[in-house]
Amino acid sequence: MKVKEDNKSKGESRLHPRNKLRGRYDFKELTAACPTLLPFVKVNEYGTETIDFFNPQAVIMLNTALLKFHYDIDAWNIPSNYLCPPIPGRADYIHHIADLLQIFNYGKIPLGEKVKVFDIGVGANCVYPIVGVKEYGWSFIGSEIDAIALESAHQILESNPSIKDKIDLRLQAHSQDIFKGIIEPHELFDIAICNPPFHGSLEEALEATSRKLRNLKKEKNPQIVLNFGGQSNELWCEGGEDQFISNMIAESKQYANSCFWFTSLVSKKTNLTKIYHHFDHAKVFDYKTVSIGTGNKSSRIVAWTFLDKIQQKSWVNSRWNAKAKAK
């Protein structure tokens, strides 16, 4: 099933209806929850409170405040130069996969630790598991090839007992593997999520950032500041997201019975045709495309499963304790 791109106007929120971050940021509430944000808050030319989104430390403090106020995360930080993600977009991914599971659970979102999610590339920030645990009570396995990022995620868990026991972090020793070496024998996941590296090279990543800054600052040669940070493995990989997702689809076939739904973000709409071809080649049973967006940026989630209808029903009834409804 393919879903058309979202055509909402720029002034209308494109975030998921359940997303707590749909509206404007209330800096009075945020600074009350996280006073360390206060020095970074300023009033813009329109008389509205905001921060300098080109200041990496300001963005980190904003994320810290958002996670504290909306998700009751007491302590959160990331190492210098690591990816500092926009929380609203990360939360949207989680809400949309909840909708996907709801479709196959007789119209109810499955809740609690019995729902197991595999976060491919959890990162130093650990944001996807944080939101999934806090919103739906799910349990997570997060993989990571970067030992420093993994240690940062461990520190976040150690500082927040409310999520510590629901998130397990694992080092991926082989950077070319995605599922192999992480999924243990007889281990089952209800859904896998992934935010793959967008770019095909460091040069491409830097040019994209420079272009974004030129558009925002209206400068011909702005100084490149990655306000959301990012190590090389977070920003780019050989072949870009198309190749990464292609590898992910091919390898997922080996774990067809270990995971109900495999999903990934796709930043470039032009990659969808190739991805659908990979689905056909891998002989997936079903796939879906869900359009998402934050601000003026459009993206999409692709999801695929190898389980047929009978296997899907058996999975749901055995793992989520769903009660079949008469049709």
From 46, 71, 96, give the residue that closes a domain. Answer: 71
What is the chain's percent helix, strand, coil content, to nearest 5? 40, 15, 45
Q: Is residue 148 included in any domain, yes or no?
A: yes
Same domain, 130 and 223: yes
pLDDT in tens, 18-35: 999 998 999 999 999 999
Q: Is residue 3 included in any domain, yes or no?
A: no
Which residue range is the domain that position 49 belongs to? 27-71
DSSP assignment of 175-190 = TT-SSTTTSPTT--EE
Beta-bridge mates of residue 292: 299
Q: Is residue 13 included in any domain, yes or no?
A: no
Q: Is residue 102 included in any domain, yes or no?
A: yes
User: CA–CA distance from 307 to each of 30, 229, 247 (Å)?
Assistant: 44, 38, 19
Range from 1-5, 263-267, 315-319 carrying the lowest mean pLDDT = 1-5
pLDDT of residue 11: 38
DSSP assignment of 250-290 = HHHGGGTTTEEEEEEEE--GGGHHHHHHHHHHHT-SEEEEE
Same domain, 131 and 31: no
Residue pair 176/219 in contact by the 8 Å Cβ criterion? no
Q: Is residue 130 included in any domain, yes or no?
A: yes
pLDDT tier at 143, thresholds 50, 70, 90:
very high
| Closest C-alpha among 85, 43, 120 to residue 226 | 85
Maximum separation of any 2 CA atoms in the chain, in Å: 64
Residue matched to tokens 């891998």: 282
Q: Is residue 308 included in any domain, yes or no?
A: yes
Same domain, 38 and 115: no
pLDDT of residue 54: 86
Residue 43 has pLDDT above 50, yes or no: yes
From 37, 71, 105, give the residue that closes a domain. Answer: 71
User: CA–CA distance from 35 to each of 32, 39, 51, 65 (Å)?
Assistant: 6, 8, 14, 8
pLDDT of residue 191: 98
Same domain, 79 and 44: no
With residue 150 as reference, give the H or E element that holds it: helix 147-158
Q: Is residue 15 included in any domain, yes or no?
A: no
Q: What is the mean pLDDT of residues 55-59?
A: 92
Same domain, 220 and 251: yes
From 13, 40, 71, give the residue that closes a domain. Answer: 71
Same domain, 99 and 214: yes
Nearest 5°: the CA angle 246, 252, 255 is: 170
Give how many domains the chain has, as a whole number: 2
pLDDT tier at 324, thresholds 50, 70, 90:
very low
Same domain, 203 and 293: yes
Residue 173 has pLDDT above 80, yes or no: yes
- The CATH number of the domain holding residue 218 is 3.40.50.150
pLDDT in tens, 210-243: 555 555 554 544 444 444 454 445 454 576 899 9
φ, ψ of residue 309 in degrees (nearest 5): -60, -40
Q: Is residue 5 included in any domain, yes or no?
A: no
Same domain, 104 and 241: yes
Same domain, 210 and 88: yes
pLDDT of residue 215: 55
